[in-house]
Structure 1
Amino acid sequence: MVVNFYQQNQEYMFKPGNPFWGNKVHSNYINVVNHQFTDSSVNHINIIRHSLNTYHYGF
């Protein structure tokens, strides 16, 4: 199983045109669970902390 947490925010460091666009991950061989965060309270700094506090996959 793979859990993918990603963002598709329009801005990066207060500049338009975010160069780090995240995306869904797909696989024909393993189960992939995707979670998209576009909320302004979740950013590059706290996405891991937010994911661990919100979703419980045993890690």
Structure 2
Amino acid sequence: MAKALIGFIGGPTADEQRQTARMRRRIADLEAEVLRLKIENDGLLAAVREHLEPVTASDLRERVSH
């Protein structure tokens, strides 16, 4: 029924098509930003791991018992 209504109305207007294209570009930009931030975050985590000594559960128990 929706297809019939869209066909009857005439489909999206030029303004709606421009708005849809603009929103799709914005979504693509945001997805690219999320990917960039994930990559940056992974790099920061790797750098932190390089500078930290591994901590085990027994290390934590020793510190709590003192």
Q: TM-score, normalised by structure 1?
A: 0.21
Q: Which structure has greater strand proportion?
A: 1
Q: Which structure has greater helix proportion?
A: 2
Greater relative contact order, per chain length (Cα 8 Å cut-off, separation 6+) = 1
